[in-house]
Amino acid sequence: MFFIIFLSAFIIQSTVCHNSDSSALLDEPPSRSSAYRFFFKTLPNDKDGYLNCGGFDTQWGVNGGKCGVCGDPYNGARDNELPYGKYTKDLTVTRTYKSGSTIYAKVHMIKNNGGHFEFRLCPATALLNNETIRQEPHDWVQEVTDQCLDSHRLEVLGSTDGNRWCWPIPDRQQQGVIYQIKVKLPQGLRCERCVFQWTWVTADNYGWCSDGTWKLGCGPQTTHKACADVQII
């Protein structure tokens, strides 16, 4: 009985309290925190590889899995979001694309912990139209919402597992590589400025899968996000 209780406690500890050292950058299109690396006149962020929702314990233990849309802690300063984020003070559109075109997103993998990538897009109309969106716990004008981003998920072309919305990382042993992922922009969507969101769901922890098995990468995981500003014509 003691062994069963101890084992259960160990499993809970390993899945709830794991902090990841995973690190990656959104290089293409250049994200708000990383644009300075591509000679845009924006505020440098030397922690741009660690936009991980505040870390596993903060995201899942404190915020119930919630995260800022650009990787900031849900309950903390939104440094990468308008209107008050310090990395948005010199907001710059870093790329221009054609509606419905196929583009290559590039992710610079610094510390690879496996998992998969997702990409989303949302027209940044809220602030441009002076439209006020209120969301707890922050009483501020929100530029884009998770609902808008989820309605414009970008199709991943050539995904190895057949999932058109996710790109599985092929080899978690690869470090320091730049992954190129082919994604398709929505046909007919145009914007003076859209927010391009990259999400990396790592595979740090073991957890219960939907089929009832216990595997690495199932259940809550450390999550990274980054936002870039693009124009679609």
- Give me the mean pLDDT over the 114-139 stretch: 67
Backbone angles phi, psi at 182, to 5 degrees: -85, 120
pLDDT value of position 142: 73
Which CATH code is given to the segment(s) 2-232?
A: 2.70.50.50
Q: Which of 193, 195, 184 is nearest to 232 (CA)?
A: 193
pLDDT value of position 158: 83
Residue whose pair of structure tokens reads 């690879």 in the numeric block: 112
pLDDT surpassing 80 at residue 127: no
Q: Sketch the domain layout of the chain as residue ranges.
A: 2-232
pLDDT value of position 36: 97
pLDDT confidence band for 40 (50 / 70 / 90): very high
Q: Are 14 and 103 in contact (CB under 8 A)?
A: no
pLDDT confidence band for 171 (50 / 70 / 90): confident
pTM of the entire predicted model: 0.85
pLDDT surpassing 80 at residue 141: no
Q: Are 59 and 65 in contact (CB under 8 A)?
A: yes
Q: Are 21 and 15 in contact (CB under 8 A)?
A: no
- Give me the mean pLDDT over the 208-214 stretch: 93
Beta strands in the chain (DSSP E): 23-28, 95-97, 102-111, 116-123, 155-156, 167-168, 178-184, 191-201, 206-208, 214-216, 223-232
Tokens of 200: 């990396």
Distance CA 77, CA 58 (A): 13
Q: Which of 5, 52, 1 is nearest to 25 (CA)?
A: 52
Backbone angles phi, psi at 135, to 5 degrees: -145, 125
Instruction: Round the average pLDDT of the chain to a whole number and report it.
Output: 86
pLDDT value of position 18: 55
User: Which residues, 6 or more positions from 180, have their beta carbon under 8 angstroms from its beta carbon?
Assistant: 28, 104, 105, 106
Angle of CA points 90, 94, 99, to nearest 5°:
135
pLDDT surpassing 60 at residue 13: no
